[in-house]
């Protein structure tokens, strides 16, 4: 089965188009976890890698039955070097074992043979002699489109070969995203031109639910623009960042979805993984119960989204 | 001293504006190296990581006195996961010990706190409690501009704090680079608009040679466009890929330089690291002498560039 259909099936079975962003940050990791790893490894990169993995596993244990997917942001792991990236690999393995679909938020991009190297490592196979290895093992990855079609082709080929999916940046959720992405090409903003390319890249990879393996990242903080993109990209599934902490509201997200409630998956990172620090959950959950607070935050987000879709 | 000045000083002392792209690929690694690592580790990712490091060290030993810098392309290491990334880290450490400046070709890009995480790991410091760590330790890194100013700010701040430099993609060397980068904003192509942004991002970081810590990637395969960018970005140093294997000729590169011969550094990857496989060097060097072929290729490239500059 195509990966986009696996994702859609899980969205249907959980009745929840939410993806939990596993973006661990030292400030989010409860003291009892840090104390445990520091006792063993000191204040080291290795300790952080271990802490991140414990933190992620405890969250995954509480949310795997409620959401279709998780999205680890590789930067948060790469920051800690080899130790952090080991936690990235093990987080992916653990999430997949629990039945979750994993979207690796890697935003990679490079030309021809270099793009192929990224693809080999993340969604394809790395060859050593005649042996082949799955390395990072994400189900989907995010890509940056600035280099054009030949930078995307190696990934598309591996999607075909290995049943994987992509989300390519169209319109990002950050305040300065418009600086380049909103520049007008004639009457059409760049992000829409990029949307057209993404749509074209995905043409040959449309699954049984009518959506392509090649999706688009479309920020929740720009509802008018998301609405327009939804119209011009009917077969493109959206990965929507920016809900919650970045200011995107559920009301604004409705435009990313079709009438049948499909068409997008909405990410929340710190709103869920650091829920125990929020006013709303602080009194109900102790720091030791941080993962239960995350569970409650997922349920509340699900209800918030259902109210508007 | 600012990193861009260290680079320029080394370009002056070596009289060579060449950067050697350390983009190891299984096809480039001589059999005697593969046999040695496979005997110990089998056909594994670990074996590849070890082979890459041996290969890189042997090349560095032959070229460190001739060139100012090396540019490892992280994708070629990331492909092999943790084992490959360990080789990336050790390659950087070894090159720096030999006095080379290291440009990490990582083309990362992400928003605010995520951009900061990449910056912490590559050019800044990763914090664990009150301890701080230098992780990947590159001197320069490459970045993708598509997300706009706030995605670049964390890196610029770390350049200020830690004396590091950046090369941001303006115009890449691949065949489809124009698909997005050449789109016209009014009369001005996007890559030039991006060039203006890069120039602005670097304004506060201009060193004693008149160039900024914030440089630009400008492909050698587009001389007309490079010429125009050289005019509109007088304080921006260029990292120029595409020479040699990708078709960029020395004649075409002159436009990237100022009259004093400064202004750019030209990358060659497989033309140097896989020189022993080229017709030109095959008869003069055995596979065991591959690193000596690389040395000769560096000398030949230096002469080729000097002929035209």
pLDDT tier, B227 (very low <50, low <70, confident <90, very high otherwise): very high
pLDDT of residue A248: 82
Task: Name the token pair of B298.
Answer: 């560096």
Q: Answer whether A211 touches B (CB < 8 Å).
A: no
Residues sharing a CB contact under 8 Å with residue A52, sequence separation 6 or more, in sequence order: A24, A29, A76, A77, A80, A84, A87, A91
Option in A108, A150, A185 nearest B176 (CB): A150
pLDDT of residue A176: 95
Alpha helices in A79-169 (DSSP H): 81-97, 112-122, 149-162
pLDDT tier, B308 (very low <50, low <70, confident <90, very high otherwise): confident
pLDDT tier, B229 (very low <50, low <70, confident <90, very high otherwise): very high
pLDDT of residue A309: 81
Tell me the backbone φ, ψ of residue A274, rounded to 5 degrees: -115, 25
3-state secondary structure of A103: strand
pLDDT tier, A220 (very low <50, low <70, confident <90, very high otherwise): confident
Provide, rounded to the nearest whole percent, the portion of chain A with pLDDT above 90. 93
Q: Answer whether A84 touches B (CB < 8 Å).
A: yes
Taking CB atoms and an 8 Å limit, are B126 and A23 in contact across chains? no
Task: Name the token pair of A271.
Answer: 């709103």
Q: Answer whether A179 touches B (CB < 8 Å).
A: yes
Chain A contact probe: residue of B21, B25, B52, B75 with most A CBs at under 10 A: B75
pLDDT of residue A259: 85
Q: Answer whether B150 touches A (CB < 8 Å).
A: yes
Under a CB-based contact definition with an 8 Å cutoff, are residues A80 and B126 in contact? yes
Q: Is the pLDDT of residue A155 over 90?
A: yes
Q: How many CA atoms lie within 13 A of A196 on its CB side?
A: 8
pTM summary value: 0.98
- ipTM beyond cut 0.90: yes
In the set B107, B277, B278, B302, the catalytic residue is B107
Residues in chain B within 8 Å Cβ distance of A129: 26, 34, 38, 43
Taking CB atoms and an 8 Å limit, are A126 and B45 in contact across chains? yes
Mean pLDDT confidence for A258-268: 93
Option in A75, A133, A193 nearest B45 (CB): A133
CA distances from B61 to A215, A273, B31, B128 (A): 45, 47, 19, 35
- In DSSP notation, B37-72 reads HHHHH-SSHHHHHHHHHHHHHHHHHHHTTT-SEEEE
pLDDT of residue A260: 85
Under a CB-based contact definition with an 8 Å cutoff, are residues B174 and A148 in contact? yes
3-state secondary structure of B236: coil
Residue in chain A closest to B105 (alpha carbons) equals A110
pLDDT tier, A247 (very low <50, low <70, confident <90, very high otherwise): confident
What digits encode the pLDDT tens for the residues B157-204?
999 999 999 999 999 999 999 999 999 999 999 999 999 999 999 999
Option in A34, A151, A179 nearest B174 (CB): A151
* Cβ under 8 Å to A: B residues 86-145: 86, 89, 107-115, 117-118, 120-121, 126-131, 133, 135-136, 144-145
pLDDT of residue B112: 84
Q: Taking Cα atoms as reference points, which of B201, B177, B233, B227 lies closest to residue A179?
A: B201
What digits encode the pLDDT tens for the residues B239-273?
999 898 778 888 889 999 998 889 999 999 999 99
Q: Is the pLDDT of residue A48 over 90?
A: yes
User: Which has more confidence, A309 or A75?
Assistant: A75
Compute the count of residue pairs across chains A and B with CB atoms less than 8 Å apart. Answer: 219
Q: Answer whether A169 touches B (CB < 8 Å).
A: yes
Catalytic residues of A: 107
What digits encode the pLDDT tens for the residues A98-128?
999 999 999 999 998 999 999 999 999 999 9
């Amino acid at each position: 089965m195509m990966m986009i259909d696996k994702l859609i099936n899980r969205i249907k079975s959980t009745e929840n188009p939410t993806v939990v962003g596993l973006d661990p940050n030292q400030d989010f990791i409860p003291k009892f976890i840090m104390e445990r790893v520091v006792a063993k490894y000191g204040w080291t990169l290795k300790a952080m890698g271990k802490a991140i993995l414990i933190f992620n596993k405890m969250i995954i244990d509480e949310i795997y039955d409620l959401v279709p997917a998780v999205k680890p942001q590789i930067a948060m792991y790469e920051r800690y070097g080899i130790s952090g990236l080991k936690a990235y690999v093990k987080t992916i393995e653990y999430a997949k074992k629990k039945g979750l679909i994993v979207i690796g938020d890697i935003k990679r991009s490079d030309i021809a043979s270099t793009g192929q190297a990224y693809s080999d490592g993340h969604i394809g196979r790395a060859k050593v002699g005649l042996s082949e290895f799955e390395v990072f093992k994400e189900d989907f990855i995010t890509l940056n489109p600035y280099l054009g079609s030949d930078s995307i082709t190696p990934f598309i080929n591996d999607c075909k070969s290995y049943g994987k999916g992509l989300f390519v940046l169209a319109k990002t959720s950050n305040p300065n995203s418009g600086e380049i992405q909103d520049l007008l090409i004639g009457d059409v903003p760049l992000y829409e031109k990029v949307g057209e390319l993404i749509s074209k890249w995905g043409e040959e990879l449309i699954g049984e639910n009518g959506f392509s393996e090649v999706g688009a990242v479309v920020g929740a903080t720009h509802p008018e623009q998301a609405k327009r993109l939804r119209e011009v990209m009917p077969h493109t599934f959206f990965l929507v960042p920016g809900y919650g902490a970045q200011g995107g509201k559920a009301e604004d997200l409705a435009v990313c979805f079709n009438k049948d409630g499909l068409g997008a998956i909405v990410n929340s990172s710190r709103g869920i993984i650091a829920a125990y620090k929020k006013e709303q959950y602080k009194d109900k959950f102790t720091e030791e119960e941080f993962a239960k607070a995350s569970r409650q935050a997922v349920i509340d987000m699900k209800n918030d989204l259902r109210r508007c879709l």
